[in-house]
Amino acid sequence: MQIKLQNFTKRFGDTTVIEDMSLSIASGEMIALLGPSGCGKSTTLFAISGIHRIDGGSLHFGDRDVTTLPPQDRPVGVVFQNYALYPHMSVAENIGFPLRVQKLNTAEIKRRVGEMAELVQIGNLLKRRPQQLSGGQQQRVALARALVRKPDVLLLDEPLANLDAKLRLEMRSEIRRLQRETGITAILVTHDQIEAMSMCDRIALMRDGQIEQISTPSEMYERPASHYVAGFLGNPPISFLKAEANGKLMLGAENSLPMPQGVDASGPITLGIRPEHFGPQHQGPTVTGRVSFIEPQGREDLIDVTLPDNQRLRAIVPAGHDFALGQDVNWQVDLSRTHLFNAEGNRL
């Protein structure tokens, strides 16, 4: 089911949270709404589910205008951050609830609940209460409940936020598997870039109620549209250097880099270099500085290099090197993979 959100505006009282936002999602696609808290991603999700009313704009599921439909009438399933399971019902009753309110007969409900429970692999827990389940199991119940109605759209609001690290990994692939198997159109709201990049076909990165960039995870990582996007994605994060463009990129008095190919700029700009594109193991022009911090990570070390003009670059260096704190180094930059942004923060 294709989803088309056009000129969407949402206000709470006098505060406009989202203004004039448009987003379109292809059928069977899984898209992430990624952004820091307060950027309006959950609000967008709640508007699509119908829980919050849309103050302006329109929402189409396929050809059907659902802008003013109440949530009960929208073909959506929602998984909430805290799962919102009904504590007084057993797992089977929780999963069967959407069917029960449709007044389906008991046998049919039982059959479909069983089916759903098998799909999310909790067939042996049907008699338990939510309190007797682990976080991951509750998560699966919530997924089953969201899917049992056979919705056209699956909405996931920070579904992994309450899980511990190991379960998070497991559920990440589990949710993706379910989405692929059912071929459902899905929207994942998250503040975690890894979740967004690993689970989704496309990412919509949001900032202050606006979509900053929407593209595939690799495209977004390799060609961030703005300073903000570049800074949001990547762990350890990208290093930004203030530079002066005048045919070359001047980094203070001592260092300079040639202009990357196909870029035309002059005056103050920002140069973004990801840690994996800087270090002794690369080919390219060099930058001189002094090692100011070493953080061992096992397979590799994170090394901070402070340039003479006090700007800092971070490098990922394979373990087994013999660099020491305070050592002067002259390391290469993979120039073709650096990012240049103008004063407004847009990509050059």
Partner 1 sequence: MNRQTLLGWSFLSPALMAVVMFFLLPVILTVVFAFTNMSTSTGILGGEYQISESDLRRLPAAGVSNESVEMLAGAGYAVRPETLALFASDFGDERADELDALHGGAVFDDRRAIERALKDLRRDPIRSVRDRKAAAEMFRISILGQRYPTEAAFADAIADIGVPDADRAALTEAAYTGWTFTTQNFELLWELPATWRYAMNSVVYVVLTLAFNVSFGLFLAFSTFYLPTRTAQTFRAIWFLPRILPPVLYVLMWQWLTWDQGFISTILRPFGIEPINWMRHTATHAWTFIVLINGCVGASLGMILFSSSLRAIPETQLYAAQVDGANRWQQVRFVLLPQMRWPILFITSYQTLSLLTSFEYILLATDGGPGRQTEVWALAAYHTALSNYGGNLEYGLGAAYALALVIIGILLSALYLRFFNFRELVAKPRIEQ
Minimum CB separation of residue 50 from partner 1 in Å reads: 7
* Binding-site string for partner 1 from residue 100 to residue 119, where x marks contact by CB under 8 A and - marks none: xxx-----------------
H helices within the chain, ranges in order? 41-49, 91-100, 106-119, 135-147, 165-182, 193-199, 217-222, 227-232
Report which DSSP code applies to 338: -
Which residue from 112, 145, 168, 227 is in contact with partner 1, where contact means CB under 8 A?
A: 145
Q: Is 161 in the site for partner 1 (CB under 8 A)?
A: no
Give backbone dihedrals phi and psi of 171, rounded to 5 degrees, phi first. -75, -25
**Residue 49 to residue 68: CA distance in whole angstroms:** 11
Q: Is 38 in the site for partner 1 (CB under 8 A)?
A: no
Which residue from 131, 235, 261, 310 is in contact with partner 1, where contact means CB under 8 A?
A: 131
Interface with partner 1 by CB under 8 A: which range of 53-61, 95-103, 278-286, 289-297?
95-103
Residue 103: CB atoms within 10 A of its CB come to 7
Minimum CB separation of residue 49 from partner 1 in Å reads: 5
Which residue from 15, 37, 72, 310 is in contact with partner 1, where contact means CB under 8 A?
A: 72
- Residue 72 or 105: the one with the smaller Cβ distance to partner 1 is 72
Which residue from 60, 149, 282, 337 is in contact with partner 1, where contact means CB under 8 A?
A: 149
Q: Is 61 in the site for partner 1 (CB under 8 A)?
A: no
Residue where the block lists tokens 């949710």: 175
Minimum CB separation of residue 176 from partner 1 in Å reads: 22
DSSP 244-289: EEESEEEETTTEEEEPPTT---EEEEEEEE-GGGEETTS-S-EEEE
Q: Is 135 in the site for partner 1 (CB under 8 A)?
A: yes
Dig out the tokens for 39 from the structure.
Answer: 């950027």
Which residue from 76, 204, 291, 316 is in contact with partner 1, where contact means CB under 8 A?
A: 76
On whether the CB atoms of residues 184 and 153 are closer than 8 A, the answer is yes
What is the Cα 291 distance to its own chain's centre?
A: 33
Which residue from 9, 58, 90, 162 is in contact with partner 1, where contact means CB under 8 A?
A: 162
Q: Is 70 in the site for partner 1 (CB under 8 A)?
A: yes
Q: Which of residues 219-248 bind partner 1 (CB under 8 A)?
A: none
Dig out the tokens for 327 from the structure.
Answer: 């050592």
**Residue 248 to residue 258: CA distance in whole angstroms:** 5
Q: Is 86 in the site for partner 1 (CB under 8 A)?
A: yes
On whether the CB atoms of residues 212 and 206 are closer than 8 A, the answer is yes
Report which DSSP code applies to 231: H
Interface with partner 1 by CB under 8 A: which range of 6-14, 79-87, 212-220, 273-281?
79-87
Which residue from 77, 234, 279, 289 is in contact with partner 1, where contact means CB under 8 A?
A: 77
Q: Is 88 in the site for partner 1 (CB under 8 A)?
A: yes
Q: Is 97 in the site for partner 1 (CB under 8 A)?
A: yes
Biggest alpha carbon–alpha carbon distance for the chain? 79
Minimum CB separation of residue 72 from partner 1 in Å reads: 5
Count interface residues toward partner 1 (CB under 8 A). 32
* Angle (CA) 338 227 333, round 5°: 15
**Residue 217 to residue 229: CA distance in whole angstroms:** 11
Q: Give the binding site for partner 1 (CB under 8 A).
A: 46, 49-51, 70-72, 74, 76-78, 80-89, 97-98, 100-102, 131, 135, 145-146, 149, 162
